[in-house]
Amino acid sequence: MIRTKLTTKFGIDHPILLAPMDKVSGGTLAAAVTAAGGLGLIGGGYGDAEWLEEQFSAANNQPVGVGFITWALAEKPHLMDLCLERKPRAMIFAFGDATEFVMKCRDAGVPSIWQVHRVEQARQALSAGTDVIVVQGQEAGGHGMDRGLATLLPAVRDAAGPDQIIVAAGGIGDGRGLAGSLMLGADGIMMGTRFWAATEANGLNSAKARLVEAKGDDTLRTKVFDVARGLDWPWHFSGRVLQNDYSRRWHGDIDALKANESERTRYNEAEAEDYATRVVIGGEVVDLIHAIKPAGEIISDTVAQAEELLSNAQNYLT
C-alpha cells in the first residue's frame, strides 16, 4: 500500500483523485473511483444546477467531491451552497482566484482543493489556506497553462514546504506517473484523460475510442474550441485537445475565426460524432491509453505498477 499525507487526509486506500472533468466526470464515474479506493470528484465545470443534482444522486451515497471552473462559479455563486448542502467529501476549484470559495469550504468544514498552473498561483492558494494544491502541468488534457510538470511540481513543493498536501496532474496515466510524481514531491496524483477513457465516464464510446487511437503528438494546446463555442475564457488559458480538421484550419487564425460567425455556427451545429469538426478533449497521456477500462481496473493497475517500481527503487543504488 502507498501511504501519503493525501491518503491520510481523506482516509482513502490509494493516492489517486479523479479530475473534475466538465460533464465527463459524472456521479457514476466519481462513485466508481471512490469505491476503488481513490477519491472521485464530479465535474461541475461551468455550473448547471439540475445536472449537479442528478450527479450527486447518481453517486448513490458514495463519498465524492465536486469541482468547478472558478471564474464560471463566481458568476453562479448559489451553486456553491447547493453543493455544500450535499456535504461533498471535498471541493476543487481551478482557473481563477478561489480565495472566497476556500473560505466558504472552511466555514462548512469541507476540505478545499485548488488546481494551479504556476508557482505564483500556488502562493495564492497557500495564502488562502487551501487544504490541497493540485499542480497541473501543460501536458494535461483540457484547460491549463504552459509550464511542464517536471519543473513546476518540485518548484511548488519548495515554495509550499513539506507539510502542504500537493497532488500532481497532467500526463499521468499509469504507475510510472504515480511513482515519478511522488519522487518529484507530490503526495498523490489526479488523472483526467486516463479516466475519460473509463467505462463509467459520461460520453460517447466513439469519442473514447478516439482517445485510445490517438497519439500524444496529435494533441495541441489551442483556443480554437473556446472561440468556436463562444466560451469567455481568460486569455492566458488554452485547452489541450486532439487535433482535427477544424483546429488545423483555425489554430493559427484565431482572429479570423472570431470574425467568422458562419464557421462558429457550423461548429456548434455539427453532428456529435463529426470528429473532423467537434473537439475531443485529451492530453499527451493518450500515448499510454490502449483500452477503455473500468475505473477500478485503472486504479488497481496504476497502484500495482507504482508499488513494484517503488519497491525495486533500491536497485538503483549500489
**Contact residues for ligand FMN, defined by CB under 6 A:** 19-22, 24, 43, 45, 67, 69, 94, 115, 136, 139-142, 169-172, 191-194, 196, 281-283, 285
Shortest spacing between CB 307 and ligand FMN, in angstroms: 20
Shortest spacing between CB 317 and ligand FMN, in angstroms: 31
For ligand FMN, give the closer residue by CB, 128 or 140. 140
Distance CA 197, CA 287 (A): 12
For ligand FMN, give the closer residue by CB, 191 or 227. 191
For ligand FMN, give the closer residue by CB, 31 or 73. 73
In this chain, which residue has its C-beta nearest to ligand FMN? 192
Alpha-carbon dihedral angle through residues 234, 238, 239, 244, given to the nearest 10 degrees: 120
Shortest spacing between CB 285 and ligand FMN, in angstroms: 4
What contacts 165, CB < 8 A, 6 or more positions away? 5, 6, 9, 131, 132, 133, 187
Distance CA 180, CA 289 (A): 18
Shortest spacing between CB 318 and ligand FMN, in angstroms: 35
Which helix (H) or strand (E) segment holds residue 18: the answer is strand 16-18
Shortest spacing between CB 255 and ligand FMN, in angstroms: 26
For ligand FMN, give the closer residue by CB, 39 or 69. 69
Cell of 304: 500495482
Distance CA 220, CA 247 (A): 9
Distance CA 94, CA 142 (A): 12
Distance of CA 36 to the CA centre of its chain: 18
Q: In what order do the strands lie in the sheet with 219-222?
A: 142-144, 238-242, 219-222
Q: Where are the beta strands (DSSP E) in 177-277?
A: 189-191, 219-222, 238-242
For ligand FMN, give the closer residue by CB, 16 or 227. 16
Shortest spacing between CB 5 and ligand FMN, in angstroms: 20
For ligand FMN, give the closer residue by CB, 98 or 160. 98
